[in-house]
Amino acid sequence: MKTDTSTFLAQQIVRLRRRDQIRRLMQRDKTPLAILFMAAVVGTLTGLVGVAFEKAVSWVQNMRIGALVQAADHAFLLWPLAFILSALLAMVGYFLVRKFAPEAGGSGIPEIEGALEELRPVRWWRVLPVKFIGGMGTLGAGMVLGREGPTVQIGGNLGRMVLDVFRMRSAEARHTLLATGAAAGSLRRLTRRWRVSCLLLKRCARSFATT
């Protein structure tokens, strides 16, 4: 009985210590719980959209390569077909960017950095579809472009979308969700562009320090 009682008391002490540690952590962190929760939502959403983007690009690439494989026996058709397919796919991305969202051109990282510095607007309602579909065309065409840039811009725009949908107006929420989405998009490509992740996380930490 004494052993059981001492074990029970030890468990209660451990639980009380954990509660005290959590309480101290909550008191030390000045970030509202709503912003932290929305940051988790943005990170999850960015991961899901990032996976869908990679799958979509791979699907376009496989379709293009499959069409070329079928024409491999006809050498006089292979090279013209390869050029035409790549040109058509690239033109889709170029048309969408030029017509609907010029800020979706390029890697998209400078746009997110400018948005974090309050220098550039974030129009997620037109950037997200253009970046997604246009990226399918340009990357699926076989152009030598990285996928981390588009995922960074997509993540940042998803952060701004969540901000607008839930009508969070504070500057802290704006910077936090934008940086969270961009960092999540960059970390989706774990083996590349750690510099971008460090830059965005540094910027996010700086915004916390000033609040």
- In words, the CATH class of domain 32-209 is mainly alpha
Nearest to 185 by CA among 105, 133, 123, 128: 128
Q: Is 153 exposed, middle or buried (0-12, 13-18, 19+ CB in 10 A)?
A: buried
pTM of the predicted structure, to 2 decimals: 0.74
Rounded CA separation 56/154 (Å): 14
The residues spanned by each domain of the chain are 1-30, 32-209
Q: What pLDDT, in 10s, does the model give residues 15-45?
A: 777 777 666 655 655 567 888 899 999 999 9
Max distance between CA atoms of the chain, in angstroms, equals 90
Nearest to 150 by CA among 97, 99, 100: 97
Torsion of CA 71, 72, 77, 82, to 10 degrees: 90
Q: Which pLDDT band holds residue 196 (cuts at 50, 70, 90)?
A: low
Which three-class secondary structure state does DSSP give residue 72?
A: coil
| DSSP, residue by residue, 47-64 | HHHHHHHHHHHHHHHHHH
Flag whether pLDDT at 191 surpasses 50: no
Q: What pLDDT, in 10s, does the model give residues 97-130?
A: 999 999 888 888 889 888 888 888 899 999 999 9
DSSP 29: -
Query: What sign does the CA torsion over 60, 61, 65, 68 have?
Result: positive
